[in-house]
Amino acid sequence: MMKSMMMNTTMKNTMVKKSKPQRKCVGCNEMKDKSQLIRIAKISDDEFVFDKTGKQNGRGAYICKSKECLEKAFRNKGFERSFKCKISTEIYNGLEQEIQAYEA
């Protein structure tokens, strides 16, 4: 009885250590390791930036480092849902230009 409880605790600890923080991509809606995603932060209603440090203030959304997912997020309104505001084509175009630098 005692032994099995201890084993469970050990297993739990190992699992916690192993699991990396995961976030959902607003484009493909898949859960991925945070390191595979990039955070987009909303600074103001018409200003969005790629948050390389993850420390930028403001509402944020995570997306894969791919133009494809950015396009999906824009088309499926994942962006607008996450940020609770309209995303203009201008903003989208700006982000599209920038995400190319992060694409693997």
Residues near Zn ion (CB under 5 A): 25, 27-28, 64, 69
Closest separation in Å from C-beta 87 to Zn ion? 16
Distance CA 62, CA 65 (A): 9
Q: Which is nearer to Zn ion, 70 or 91 (CB)?
A: 70
Q: Which is nearer to Zn ion, 28 or 85 (CB)?
A: 28
Question: Residue 46: helix, strand or coil by DSSP?
Answer: coil
- Is the backbone of residue 38 left (phi > 0), alpha (psi -120 to 50) or beta? beta
Q: Which is nearer to Zn ion, 17 or 20 (CB)?
A: 20
